[in-house]
Structure 1
C-alpha cells in the first residue's frame, strides 16, 4: 500500500505527535518557574553562574542527543528513540523532590536534556515525515506551537502550585503524571513514520546518501545558509536561557510574586507557542528568510525592553513582544534545514542543526551567569539583546531563501550540491 503524505491524510498519527510534543513542552515548562527559585530560596545558592549550571548541563546534553538522536532514528526508526526519551525521564521528578543539594538538580537536568533531545527531535521528525514537502512549514509550526504552549502552561501550572503548596515537592507531582502518561501514549499508540521519509526519498529525482561526517560538515559550515541557520538557532537560545534562569530571579527581586512570574513567563511561552500556528504557514506562503531575520530583531528588542521597564503589566507586554519574535524565527529555522536536507539524511541534518541550536542553552547560560555575577542582572539582559541583533545581521547577510518554489538556495529535492562557496 502506497504511503500518502499530508497532514490531513495522516491526521490521526499527526494528532498523536502533537499530543507528544505538548507533553514534552509541559515537562520542560514544569522547571521554568520553580527550579531557579529552588536554587536561591531552598538551597541558598547566590551565584547566578552556579544556578545556571542546571541549564548548562541540560543544554550540552540535549545538544549531543539531538545530534545522535537524528542519526539513530535513520537506522532504528523514530518510535524506539521516542520511547527511550520518555523512559529516561521517569527518574526526574524523584530527583527534584528528594534532591539533598543543588548538584542533584543539575544531575536531574542531564536526564531532562536526554528526554528533550530524543523526544522532541523524534516528534518534529515524525511530523515532517508525515506532512511532506508542501506542508513542511505548517507541520513545523504546529509542532513548535503545541510544544511551546506546553512550556507556557507547565510554567504557569507549577507557579500556581508552588504559590499554594511551596516550591517542593508539590509541583513535581504534576511533572511525574505528565511523564508517565506520555510514555504510555508512545508505547501504545504512536506508529513508526520512517517509511514516509524513505518513500519521499524514493520519489526524488536523485538520491543523495551522505555519511554522518559529511552531513555534520555540510550542516555546520559547508553551506552558508545552513551555517546562518545554525548560528541564529544557537544565539536565539540565549533568550530562552535568560527566561529560564534570570526572569524568575530578576522579577521576584523587583517585587513580583512566584505566581506573577509564572504568568509573565507563561505569556512569553504562550505567545511564542500560539503564534507558531500562523508563522509556520507564513513561512510556506512568503518564504523563510524574512521571518527569521525579523524574528531575531523583534525578540532582541523585547529582551532589551524588559531590562528598562518596571511593573507587572509592562513586563507582560515585553514578554509578549519577545514571544512574537521567537514565533517568527523558531519554526522557520527548522524549516530552512528541512528544505536544504535530502530526505535520506534530513533527520541527521536536523539533528546537527538542533545540536548547535540547543548548545546555545549552555553557551547562553554561561555568558548570562558570568555577566550577571560581574555586572548585574540588567547587564545580562542587554548582553543577550546585543547578541540577538548581531546574529540577526549575520543571518541577513548569509542566509539565502530556501522555499522550494521561489528560493535561491539549491533545492534538496534535486540531489544537487547545496554548498555555496
Structure 2
C-alpha cells in the first residue's frame, strides 16, 4: 500500500529546514541593525549633540518605539493581503538610508528621523520573519521555532552592541560603528530578495485543516480579541508591552547610569551586550521547553525574574553587580519572549494569526515608547535609580496580572477555549 501523496506546502521544521534556517539568518541581520545603536546613541546624544535631559536623550527610542509598534500592526495585515515576502523586502528598503543618516547627521533631528526608519524596518522585517517561521513550523513546535527566531535576533543585538562599543572606543562614535549597520542592511536585503520564498500558502494549508471555523474575523475583531477580550491573548499583549518597557529603560538609561559610575565605553558595551546575549541564548532552552511544559509558567516566572533583576540594577553600583543583574534580566526575558509569541500562535486561527501577531507586537513594541517616556520623565524628576525602581514595580505587577488572568494555551495541556 503506497503512502498518500501530499500536494502543496508541507508543515514542519524538518521538511522546511533550509528555508527556516535562511529566515533565522535574515532575522539575525535584522537584530544586528538594532544592536548597532544600543551602545553608541546615548553617548552620542551627550557628547556630540550636548543633550542634557534624560528625556531629550531618549527621544530616539520614543520615535523608534512608536513607529515600530504601528508598523507591526500593519505588517500582519499587509502580509495577509499581499504576502509575506513583499513586506519583508519593504522593511529592508526602509533601512537603506539609516546608516548614512546616523553617520552624517548634522543635528539630533536627523538621528530621530533615522530611528523612525529603523522602526519601520524592524516592524516590517522582524514581524514578517516571525510570521513566516510560524507558517513553516506548524502547530507542534512553535515554541522551538520562536526560540530559534528570537535567539538569532537578540544574539545578533548582543554581538553587535559589544562590537560597536569596541569600535567606538577605538575609532570614535562615528562613523565606524555604523559601517557595520550598512553591511547588515545590504546583506539582509540581498538574501531576502534572492533566496527567501513566500510562506502564505503554508498558513492557508494549516487553516484548511484547523478544528475551528472562525477564520473570517475582521481586523477590528482581531484587534479587540488580542488587546482585551480574549484572556490569553490580552494577557500576552500586556506582558509583552511591559517587557519592552523595561527594555526601553535598559537601552536608553543604563548606559548613562554606567557612565556616571565611571565605567569605560568598553565596559558599557559589555554590559549592553550581556543582557541580550543571555536573553538570546536562553531562548534556545525556554522556547522548546514551553512546547513540553506549557507557556504560562515561563511567562509568569520570567516577568517576576525581570522585576528582581531591575531591583538589582537600582541598588548596585559596581560592574560585577550590574553584570549579575544583567544576566538575571536576560534570563527572565528569555523565559518570556518566545513563549508569548508561541501563546499568541496557539490561540489565534491561522486565517487571522498574522494579524493577531501584528496586534500583539503593536502593544509589545509600544512598550519601547512607553518605557522611554516614563523612564525619561521619572529620571529627570527624581533620578535614574527612581526610574529603575518604578519600572521594576510595573514589571512585577505585570507578572502577577498574567498569573491571575492567563490560562495555559499549549494545545497538549490546555482545555478547549473559544477565540471569539
Structure 1 gaps of 5+ residues are: 411-416
Moved more, 92-101 or 220-229: 220-229
Matched, 1:125 2:131: yes
Q: C-alpha offsets along residues 106-153 of structure 1, whole Å, 9 cap, x if unaligned?
A: 111000000000000000111111010001111001101011001101
Matched, 1:286 2:288: no
Instruction: Provide the C-alpha distance between the structure 1 equivalents of 2:323 and 2:211, rounded to a whole number of angstroms.
Output: 50
Map of 1:19-418 to 2, 5 A cutoff?
19-208=25-214, 209-408=216-415, 410=417, 417-418=418-419
Unaligned runs of 5+ in 2: 1-6
> How far apart are the structure 2 equivalents of 1:286 and 1:205?
23
CA distance in 2, matches of 1:147, 1:89: 16
Checking the alignment, whether the CA contact within 8 Å between 2:312 and 2:321 is kept in structure 1 is no
Alignment check: 8 A CA contact 1:130 1:193 kept = yes
CA–CA distance in structure 1, aligned partners of residues 145 and 158 of structure 2: 20
CA distance in 2, matches of 1:207, 1:396: 29
- SS of 2:253 mapped into structure 1: helix
| Secondary structure at 2:408 match in 1 | coil
Checking the alignment, whether the CA contact within 8 Å between 1:252 and 1:261 is kept in structure 2 is yes
Q: Deviations over 1:334-377 (max 9, x none)?
A: 11111110000000001000000000110111000000000001
Q: CA deviation at 1:409?
A: 5.5
Partner residue, 2:4:
none
* Per-residue deviation, 1:6: 1.0
Indicate if the aligned counterparts of 1:402 and 1:409 stay in contact, CA closer than 8 A.
Answer: no
- How many Å separate the matches in 2 of 1:207 and 1:115? 34
RMSD of equivalent CA atoms: 0.9
The ranges of structure 1 where at least 4 consecutive aligned residues each deviate by more than 4 angstroms after the TM superposition are none
| Distance in structure 2 (CA, Å) of the matches to 1:177 and 1:206 | 45
CA contact (8 A) 2:223 2:356 kept: yes
TM-score normalised by the chain length of structure 2: 0.97
Kept in 2: contact 1:400–1:409 (CA 8 A): no
Q: TM-score, normalised by structure 1?
A: 0.97
Contact 2:91 2:122 in 1 (8 A): yes
Kept after mapping to 2: 8 A contact 1:24/1:116: yes
2: distance between equivalents of 1:379 and 1:205?
49
